[in-house]
Structure 1
C-alpha cells in the first residue's frame, strides 16, 4: 500500500463541499498563486519551520515539522472517527491541498477506500495535472470542486506561474464525462474581476451546461500573509485590496442572471 504526503487533516469542515466533512490536505502543488491560502503546501517534501514566541519577556524558538507521509489505512482510521456525523449531515471526505492530483496513486487508493465505506468524496483541484491522473481517480470522485484562477492566459501565467491551457482542457474533459462540478473562483481585485474576466466566465458556464452545478466566489483575503513570509520570504499579493461586499454581491447577481447557475459567496 502506498503512502501520501499530507500536511493537515481537518475534521468537521463545513466549507469544502456539502455537509460535515473531513478534509485531507495533500502537500505539493505545481502552481504558485500569489494569493495562495496554503503556501506550506507548495513543496512535495517534509519541511521544518521555526516559530518564535515571547513569554515573560523571553523569546522561545520552536521547530515545527510541516508534512508527514501517511498510509491509506492510517488516514482512513482518522476519517472513520467522524463517519456518523458525515452520514447524518450528507457530508463526506474532501481531498484538497496543495494539488492532490500530484499524488495520483495514493489519491486513487484513498478515494477508493472512502467509496468502499460509502463516504461521499470531493476533489478540490486546480486541474493542473496530466489527464491520466484525472482519469485514474475519476471513478471514485462524487463531486469536483474545480478552481478557476483566471481565464486570461497571460494573467494566469503571471500570477500562478503556469499556463491555464491544461486546466481548461481537463475541465472540458470532465464536462464531456458529465462529472458533477462546482467551480471555485477566488475573486482577486484588479486581476480576475474585470469586465472581460466576468464575460469569459459567463461564456465558460454557458459552454459547460448542466455539469457545473454551481459557482463559489471566494473573496480574496490576507490571512495567509504570515505563512507566505515563512515559506516564500515575501507576500507577493500584499498590495491587493480586499474586495468590498457590495462588489462581491454585484458579481454574484450578475453571474446568476446571465447563466442561470447558482452562485454563492464563500466555500
Structure 2
C-alpha cells in the first residue's frame, strides 16, 4: 500500500470546499481523460489524456510589450499573431516536449491544463481540509473527465483516503469495463453516475459513444451493491433530452433500480464556454438555453414517477 503514494496520474484541477458532489464539504479532484465527447461538456480540458498548453488572450500583455513566449518553442509552435497576441499551433505542440514555455509568461496568460501528480501530493491537499471534512461528514470526490480512464491512479488514491478514514466518492460516466467499475467501487462510499439519454442512437449522436455499457454497468452495480450510495444525474440539455419522453424514460430506468438509488436533474449551463476558445475549438452548443419554466416542468415529470428519490426540490 505504501507504493500507492508514489503512483501518479494526470490532474487538471483540484477544487476546495465543494458542496455539490457528495455529502458534506468535499475536496474535488479532476482527472484528465474522457472517452465521451459530449457537445455540452463544461470541462473540455478534461477530454484529452495529457496536459494541454493554452493561451488566455485576455491576460496577455501583447507581443509588442512582452513577447517572452515567441520563439521559445523548439518546434516553432508559438508565433506572433496579427492582433499582437501569440498564436499556438497545436499540430506542432508536443506532449513529449520539456515545455520551456511553461512559466515563461509574466502575466500567466500561458499555462497547462493538467499536470502529473503523485497520490502523496494529492493527499497532502486533501488532508489540509480534513477538519472541514470531519465537521461536515464530507471527504474526497474524484471527477473528470472520466476517472476510470486512470484506474491505477484512481484506485491508489481511494485506498489512501480509505486508510485515513476519509469519505470517498467518484463522479463517472460509467463507460468502462465492469470489472474495473466493481473493483474500484469496493473503495467508495458514493458513486455519482450520469444517464444522459436512454435512446442509444441519440446518446451516440451527442456523446460519441453508445449507452449500452453505461446502462448495464449502472444496473449491475445497483444489483450487486444495494447498500452503496448511488446518485444518478441527468444534465438537461436543450435539443438533446429536454422532453417529457426523454426524462420519463430515464426516470423509469431509475425506478427499476434498488430503492436506495437517488436521482438528480442538472440544468444546462454555459460555464465552460470560454475554455473552448483557449483550446482553439468552437463551442458546440452555440447560443441555446434552457428556460427555467421548462426545467421546472421536467423536474415535475420525474417527480411524478420517483417521488422522494428525486433530490431536486419539487
> TM-score scaled by structure 2?
0.79
Q: 1:222 offset after TM fit, Å?
A: 1.4
8 Å CA contact retained: 1:104, 1:136: no
Q: Which residue of 2 aligns with 1:189?
A: 238
Q: Which residue of 1 aligns with 2:130?
A: 83
Q: Which residue of 2 aligns with 1:124?
A: 171
Q: Which residue of 1 aligns with 2:286?
A: 238
1:103-154 per-position Cα deviation (integer Å, ceiling 9, x unaligned): 1111111001111111111110001111122122111011111111111111
Structure 2 counterpart of 1:23, from 19, 28, 36: 28
User: 1:166 aligns to what SS in structure 2?
Assistant: helix
Q: Does 1:229 align with 2:238?
A: no
Tell me which protein shows more strand as a share of its residues. Answer: 1
Instruction: Compare 200-209 and 27-36 and name the one that shifted more.
Output: 200-209
Instruction: Compare 249-258 and 109-118 and name the one that shifted more.
Output: 249-258
Q: How many residues align?
A: 264
Greater Rg by CA: 2
Q: 1:257 offset after TM fit, Å?
A: 2.3
Structure 2 counterpart of 1:39, from 34, 40, 44: 44
Q: Does 1:114 align with 2:161?
A: yes
Tell me which protein shows more helix as a share of its residues. Answer: 1
Structure 2 counterpart of 1:205, from 224, 244, 254: 254
1:169-196 per-position Cα deviation (integer Å, ceiling 9, x unaligned): 1101111122321111100122112122
CA distance in 2, matches of 1:85, 1:60: 43
Q: Mark the runs of 5 or more structure 1 residues left unpaired by the alignment.
A: none
Q: Which residue of 1 aligns with 2:209?
A: 162
CA distance in 1, matches of 2:180, 2:279: 27
* Alignment root-mean-square deviation, CA: 1.9
> TM-score scaled by structure 1?
0.93
Q: Mark the runs of 5 or more structure 2 residues left unpaired by the alignment.
A: 1-5, 66-83, 87-108
